[in-house]
Every structure is written in structure tokens, then in C-alpha cells.
């Protein structure tokens, strides 16, 4: 269990990047960190990874407070690509492996394993400068996995990459979870967090505004909706099912009882002989939860 207790971080010039963050992340899950630019996600990740050592509060792994001088407690994948471009993929992996104390046969074996995991087995001896953006991102991740960390922190690992690399990264995350690793995953892509993560923490202006299981947050914060198109005006008996808004030339009805509402729409159409263009159930998304909490879209 990773526990973050009352973390505060001030940068110079009066910027308070983190106000008072507390968070508990169970072992073996993927937790998404979601928030707009400047919310404080990278700062929190750097604190966890001991890249930033000057902060108030504490981070615990189980009952042990993390040692701010030791980076090897976590695998940290920074937002920026951090590779030596003129060296080969293997040499980059060796470099990071040595930083974490690996050597000899153990170093070589681990580098081959990691190279296979990131889908670059055939490219080990090629210089990084010849790699695509996605391949560099995968190698960037591989470097942070050389010491087989149990907690892996990924700061927006899929920015600007091709679909193949994205698929590899997703597969790797699934495999790491199966091996019992805990993943902390910052992203601007809500759909990635929905797909990959078990839990999510929304960060806004240096505070966690909500966190918990994705399913739980969806249920707690928003109702499903039905989308109705092809009726000019909705009768009162349908309006009373929930909250109505105009959308894409039709109506979006947020309701706790979507199936009953759909039945009422169909009955109305049958009675009035109206030909519906569209009637469908719209499942709530994480994006909607964020909007209901902050009143703004993540990528406004
Ligand atoms: N080295 C620094 N010196 C001063 N201020 C900083 C520094 N790094 C970050 N900040 C400020 O701290 C706040 C939080 O930044 P941070 O990078 O943690 O946000 P973020 O949520 O990761 O944003 P993004 O999604 O754009 O990466 C911002 O106001 C930012 O300008």
C-alpha cells in the first residue's frame, strides 16, 4: 500500500504546486492521475519518485516512510524522453541498470528481458537517434524497469506516439499489473485512464478533488443518459424522468431509470405515430465526472 500524507510543495516565486495532498493506493492496481495543465500531477509524481526532495508531508510504502535519498524504490518514467541518442537501445538499458546496481550477467539478462517486453528485441544494437518517437517512448519506459521496481510511475507516457507503440505500452502495463506491480499513471487522455486504471484521482489546482474506483465515481457522480433524436417536442411524462439538454439536434436526458425512460419514449412515438431517428443509451464517462466536479472539460 502506498500512502501519501499531507504533501505540500511550494516552488520559488510563491507557486504552491500542491496544497495538501493525501492519497492511498492499494498494491497491484493502476491508479490514474488526471487533471488539467499545471494541476500538480508531475510535481506529485516527482515527489513520489524522490526527484523532488524538498516538500512537506510524508510518503509511506506499507509501514515504511520512503527515504528521499533513494530513487530505486520506484520506477519513474518522466514526461520528457531521457535517453542518450547517440548510444544503442541496449547501451541505454545498461546505463540505467548500472545506476540501480545491476552488473555482469544479471545486467545483460535483464536488459534482454526488458528489450523483449518493450517490443524492441530486434533493435537492441541500433542507435536511439534512428528510432521513431514511439520507440523512444517505449525505451524510456524500459530504462525505468531495469531494476524491476514494484511501484511504477508513468507521467503521460503516450504523448505523441503511434498506435503500435500505444498498444505495446498498454500491454506492458497489463503485464506489470499481472506481476503485482502498482502503476501510477498520469494522462490527459481520459479514455486511456478508463481503459487501463482501476482507480483515479482527479487533481485540480494542487488539490485532489475526488478519488476512488472508476466504477464507483461513475455511479456516484452521474447518471446514464439516453439520446433521443427525431421528436420535435418531448411530452411532460418523458421530461419528468430526469434532466434534459439539447444536443446534436436531439435531446440528452440524464436519468436514473434509462430503460423506463426509453420505454416511455417508444410508447409516445407509437401513440403519435412518430418515426424516431435515434434512441440510444449513453453510458457515463470519466470525462463527465470531471466536468460535473469542476465545471470544465479536462482539455479546455
Ligand atoms: N520547477 C518549477 N519551478 C516553479 N514552478 C513550477 C516548477 N515546476 C512546476 N511548477 C508550477 O507548479 C504547478 C504544477 O505544475 P506541474 O508540472 O506539477 O503540473 P501538471 O499537472 O503536471 O501539468 P502538465 O499536465 O502541464 O504536465 C504549475 O503552476 C507549474 O507552473
CATH of the domain at 252: 3.30.70
- Same structural domain, 179 and 233: no
- Same structural domain, 82 and 26: yes
Could you give the strand order of the β-sheet that contains 207-213, starting from the edge strand earlier in sequence? Answer: 75-77, 151-155, 182-186, 30-34, 199-204, 207-213
Q: Each residue's pLDDT tens digit in the chain (300 positions)? A: 999 999 999 998 888 999 999 999 999 999 999 998 899 999 999 999 999 999 999 999 988 888 887 777 899 999 899 999 999 999 999 999 999 999 999 999 999 999 999 999 999 999 999 999 999 999 999 999 999 999 999 999 998 888 888 888 999 999 999 999 999 999 988 899 999 999 999 999 999 999 999 999 988 877 789 999 998 888 888 889 998 989 899 999 989 899 999 999 999 999 989 899 999 999 888 888 888 888 777 765
Choose one of 9, 12, 14, 15 to mutate for the ligand 1 pocket test, by most ligand atoms within 8 angstroms of C-beta: 15
- Same structural domain, 195 and 278: no
The whole-model pTM stands at 0.87
CATH number for position 96: 3.40.50.300
Q: Which amino acid residue places its CA nearest to atom 29 of ligand 1?
A: 38
Compute the distance from residue 46 Cα to the ligand 1 centre, in Å: 11
Compute the distance from residue 160 Cα to the ligand 1 centre, in Å: 20
- In angstroms, what CA-CA distances link 106 with 24, 73, 110? 34, 19, 6
- Same structural domain, 149 and 202: yes
Count of domains for the chain = 2
**Predicted complex ipTM:** 0.97
Choose one of 33, 42, 205 to mutate for the ligand 1 pocket test, by most ligand atoms within 8 angstroms of C-beta: 42
In sequence order, what are the beta bridge partners of 31?
Answer: 184, 199
Q: Cα–chain-centroid distance for residue 88? A: 30
294 within domain boundaries: no
Instruction: Choose one of 200, 219, 238: the last residue of a domain.
Output: 219
Structural domain of 83: 2-219
- Same structural domain, 18 and 138: yes
> Which residues does ligand 1 sit against, CB inside 6 Å?
11, 15, 17, 35, 37-43
Compute the distance from residue 12 Cα to the ligand 1 centre, in Å: 12
Amino acid at each position: 500500500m502506498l500512502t501519501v500524507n499531507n504533501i505540500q510543495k511550494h516552488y520559488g516565486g510563491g507557486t504552491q504546486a500542491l496544497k495538501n495532498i493525501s492519497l492511498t493506493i492499494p498494491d497491484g492496481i493502476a491508479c490514474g492521475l488526471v487533471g488539467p495543465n499545471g494541476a500538480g500531477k508531475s510535481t506529485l509524481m516527482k515527489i513520489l519518485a524522490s526527484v523532488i526532495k524538498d516538500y512537506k508531508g510524508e510518503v509511506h510504502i506499507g509501514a515504511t516512510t520512503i527515504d528521499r535519498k533513494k530513487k530505486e524504490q520506484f520506477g519513474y518514467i518522466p514526461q520528457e524522453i531521457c535517453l542518450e541518442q547517440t548510444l544503442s537501445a541496449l547501451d541505454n538499458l545498461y546505463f540505467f541498470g548500472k545506476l540501480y546496481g545491476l552488473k555482469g550477467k544479471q545486467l545483460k539478462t535483464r536488459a534482454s528481458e526488458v528489450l523483449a517486453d518493450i517490443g524492441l528485441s530486434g533493435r537492441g544494437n541500433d542507435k536511439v537517434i534512428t528510432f521513431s518517437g514511439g520507440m523512444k517512448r517505449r525505451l524510456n519506459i524500459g530504462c525505468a524497469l531495469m531494476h524491476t521496481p514494484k511501484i511504477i510511475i508513468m507521467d503521460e507516457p503516450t504523448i505523441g506516439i503511434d498506435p503500435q507503440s500505444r498498444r505495446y505500452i498498454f500491454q506492458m502495463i497489463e503485464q506489470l499489473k499481472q506481476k503485482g506491480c502498482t502503476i501510477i499513471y498520469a494522462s490527459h487522455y481520459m479514455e486511456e485512464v478508463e481503459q487501463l486504471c482501476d482507480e483515479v484521482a482527479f487533481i485540480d489546482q494542487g488539490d485532489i478533488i475526488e478519488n476512488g474506483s472508476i466504477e464507483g465515481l461513475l455511479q456516484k457522480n452521474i447518471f446514464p443518459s439516453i439520446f433521443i433524436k427525431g421528436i420535435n417536442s418531448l411530452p411532460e411524462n418523458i421530461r419528468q424522468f430526469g434532466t434534459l439538454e439539447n444536443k446534436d439536434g436531439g435531446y440528452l436526458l440524464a436519468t436514473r431509470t434509462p430503460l423506463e425512460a426509453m420505454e416511455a419514449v417508444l410508447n409516445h412515438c407509437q401513440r403519435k405515430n412518430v418515426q424516431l431517428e435515434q434512441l440510444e443509451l449513453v453510458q457515463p464517462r470519466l470525462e463527465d465526472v470531471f466536468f460535473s466536479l469542476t465545471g470544465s472539460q479536462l482539455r479546455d
